[in-house]
Amino acid sequence: MHKPDTRTVSNRIAQQCARALQADGHDPADFLRQTGITPAQLDEPGGRINAERHRRMTAYAQQLPQHRAILDIDVTHWFAHFSGIAHVCFNRPTLRSALHELLHLRGLIGEFDFMLMSESGTRIEIEYLSEFCPAGGAMQALANFRMLSLVARAYDDGAATAFHAGFQGKAPWFAPAIAECFGAAASFGQGRNTLTFDAPALDRPFAQFNAMLAPHALRHAQGQLQKLQGAQLFSARVEQAIIDLLSRQADADGAALLPALCDGLAMNRWTLQRQLQQEQTSFRALELRAKSRESRRLLRETSMSVAEIGDRLGFSSQSAFTRFFKTQFELPPARYRHDVQGSSSEFVQTQALP
């Protein structure tokens, strides 16, 4: 018997999606029919939507016209139903701490997709990776970037931070409103969904930080997250363990990874494979997923050559690594790095303009 994907997303996301679609003239009954979400699941206080229904909702929303309602939500409305996150992220000692906690605690909103943060001097880049959207998930990225910008601006001391957003796909009809919201023109048709901004005061003490309340808020939010993650798939934990191993050991081929992984999980390979088979996956599949994520990180954050990264990840040659990367991301690794560095240079030049 196969285990289902036990990850969930807050039903507040489904409520927002349903309201936006209804405001655009869509039949509420069609939303329920297409997603499989019941009225009771939609209205349940503190309810969660399972992986399959969330996937169906995302696919359904992708077929419909884009809407700008996400830009009109302010801090009060955005975090009204996620008070655990708000109490932590709006009361941290520094902006750096607030951003890290937001990325860590966003599982309370939903356990899908990824947001990766990288730094280059005072420049911060957040990349959003979508799981369910073949077109890149630009609107999902927009929602997450909007939430992050609200947190970052709470730590402003002076002029409002300007955010440079880049999205996959075509510009929506409300693109000027996106630029107005973030304080800088947004770019579309990009290879990645990114949000970049300058944060020279990333580690400056936050004047409104309440040191007495902060530990209690953090423990409460972490407890909520741990409760949700207690039901996380075994395969998700294995994938993260592989990523941890890739970052630590130089010999990363499957023959070396598997014994190290089994040692870390305190189980033999047959037990590991049997549990993964119950979730319709395998060590090899998770190894490839982990290597695809780690390869992007190394290209973004290190000066290692493409050949060195391929060797680090256990590929037999640079050409083998390049073929793998092109299969995963539809562009060679050197082009991916060039695009990342190009967006960085453009950002720096923009910041230097008078």
CA-nearest of 60, 54, 62, 147 to 103 is 147
At residue 130, does pLDDT exceed 60? yes
Look at residue 102 and give its three-state secondary structure.
helix
Q: pLDDT tens digit string along 160-174?
A: 999 999 999 889 889
What is the C-alpha radius of gyration for the chain, rounded to an integer number of angstroms?
Answer: 21
Cα gap 69→83, rounded to integer Å: 21
Cα gap 177→164, rounded to integer Å: 13
Summary mean pLDDT of the chain:
85
- In this prediction, residues 183-200 reach a mean pLDDT of 94
At residue 335, does pLDDT exceed 70? yes
What integer pLDDT is reported at residue 228 of this predicted model? 77
Lowest mean pLDDT among 54-63, 205-214, 312-321: 54-63
At residue 317, does pLDDT exceed 70? yes
Q: pLDDT tens digit string along 208-217?
A: 999 999 999 9
Look at residue 127 and give its three-state secondary structure.
strand
What integer pLDDT is reported at residue 348 of this predicted model? 47
Confidence (pTM): 0.67
At residue 352, does pLDDT exceed 50? no
What integer pLDDT is reported at residue 353 of this predicted model? 46
Q: Looking at per-residue confidence, does 265 or 307 come out higher?
A: 307
Lowest mean pLDDT among 19-23, 200-204, 220-224, 282-286: 19-23
